[in-house]
Amino acid sequence: MPPTAQDSVVFQGNARTPGAACGSLSIADVELSFWGGINQHTGEVIDRSHPLSGQIIKDTILAIPGGRGSCSGSLVMMELMLNNVGPKALVLERPDSIITLGVLMTEEFFDKSIPIVELGSLDFQRLLTLDDHTIWVDDGRVSNSPLESQKNTTCARNDLETALDLSQWDKDALRGIHGEATRHALRLIIRMAEMMGASELIDVTQCHIDGCFFVGQGTVAFAERLRNLGGRFRVPSTINSISVDMKRWRALGVDVEFGENAERIANALVDMGALKTFTCAPYLLQDTAPRFGDRIAWGESNAVLFANSVIGARTLKIPDGLDTAIALTGRAPNAGVYRDENRLAEVIITLPLITDVDDSFWPVIGFAAGAVAKNRIPVIAGLEGLAPSLDDLKTFGAAFGTSASAPLFHIVGITPEAPTLEAVCPNKQSSRCTETPLTLDMIRSTWDHFSHGLSQRKVELISLGNPHFSVKEIGKFAQLVRNREKHKDVAVIITCGRSHWGLAEQAGYVSELERFGVQFLVDTCWCFVEEPVIPQPVKTILTNSGKYIHYGPGLTGREFCFGSLSMCAEVACTGIHSGERPLWLRNTGSGDSP
């Protein structure tokens, strides 16, 4: 029976980090992405679709099932703590590597910590009835009445004991033989490995560093301290999108302090040996993209999903900060989807027959499927008759990663590990692999959520390239607007990596689109673009990204609408978004209205 405010209850959970705290309970039964979901300077929840939207988490006991979305939540967690606007304690329903890492990084490098308790599903549901009441947390216990204080409320950083089966290199690294940066890095990896239930560490062949953008002074200090301690990356490492266009940020009017801090982080990573790739789509890089079966360590949620699902490489959803640590050591926890048994599907998502789709279909289905899957690995059935391009699968994965926390998806007949349903769900009747339909009503609801209503509206900015556009997407947009004139009141901005910008320039697409009026940004992406790059008069932004349509309203404070690439081209010329559903959705089923 759920407790009431008058009942005195004590829930015993798992203390991921020790400590004692007391504060008002702020709780929701919905996962939350810390990046794009919480303002690291104020502590306000800015995910406008979340039940806690608008609440200030400073000094609360924050309780959520776990995180979702971006790998960058660890950096936001660290900044919240360093800015003294974070919660006094975290209560989670299950282990969460991203949020937990943020606390461990702050403890390891800045000597600040808060208690984290993993409560389990039953007690977490019971805790929901105590929202907004005073809650005490102490050594894994959660109560609505005072608990006995513990003398030791922080971890002892100097004496790391572990049951992991460490290699001789690992043992030497912990003794500082390979340098202080490596020693700190391996300590983080070992603590995360213990949380993940790993018994050993494994070698990886490459890393992709997502923790490379400016969140606050803590992110600068973290990168520069590792560099100044002599850190050198042990495996080849690429860099994700950063906060600014490295070559043009001053000309674009970006705040000098912001731009210089962004450069400092990027330069520190390059000094440690990272490649100057600056893209959130490392799978598009011809020289460094992994192959099927490779064990890698990638950050950036959309990149993780593409690598695991579309390529068939193997990576955990590496939190920001842990990616840098793994690059310094070449070692990762042998847990999660590195292991064969953890790559099988946990839920079958079935789709109705839908034909004649356009590119807007894939982010809509990806987001809807992610909302069903949540933290479970899905296999999606019903898309066998379609032939998605790699760009379609990229947008599917980016949207899926926005609404789900799972690091992998399968699509029957399309992704490499799912030639058949049975290949990833060998016993369909078992309790491991339940079946859930993704109905037409759910798909329409997702489109309407993306569109923020079905009304006609004026658009002042078109956002393309989240994740980064490929040369094929740039070429497709060039074809759609060829011999047409851009509306004078509409700005069009495309973000892409240096590599594919160069390919597009060679093909003539860049000069053609610039004549039309398109502005290109490289090195950065829409997750970081703010004023003045987004002109102050802009009120409504149109995007074809299932990721940006979710995060954009909270990040920019603007109104948003959604459409296919061809819709974006049309609006670029007319300035008006019709607000109608696409033909593939209007023509599906019976009795539909636009």
Interatomic CA distance for residues 518 and 224, integer angstroms: 36
Query: Catalytic one among 33, 70, 74, 241?
Result: 70
Q: How many CB atoms lie within 10 A of CB 42?
A: 14
Strands (E) located in 80-191: 89-92, 116-118, 134-138, 141-143
Q: Catalytic: 564?
A: no
Q: What is the residue whose two structure tokens read 């992405």?
A: 33
**What number of other Cβ atoms are within 10 A of residue 540's Cβ?**
15
Between CA 531 and CA 488 the distance in angstroms is: 20
Assigned token pair, 67: 């995180």
Question: How far is residue 146's CA from residue 135's CA, in Å, rounded to a whole number?
Answer: 8
Q: In angstroms, rounded to a whole number, what is the distance separating the alpha carbons of residues 218 and 75?
A: 8
Tokens of 146: 């005072």
CB 85 within 8 A of CB 42: yes
C-alpha span between 77 and 86 (Å, rounded): 7
Residue 378 burial (10 A CB sphere; 0-12, 13-18, 19+): buried
Q: Is 366 helix (H, G, I), strand (E, B) or coil?
A: helix
CA nearest neighbour of 258 among 276, 239, 242, 273: 242
Single-letter code of the amino acid located at 532: P
DSSP characters over 47-110: -TTSTTTT-B-TTSEEEES-B-S-TTHHHHHHHHHHTT-S-SEEEESS--HHHHHHHHHHHHHH
- For residue 472, the Cα-to-chain-centroid distance in whole angstroms is 24
With vertex at residue 374, the alpha carbon angle to CA 372 and CA 378, rounded to the nearest 5 degrees, is 70
- The Cβ of residue 248 has, within 10 Å, a number of other Cβ atoms equal to 15
Active centre residues (catalytic): 70
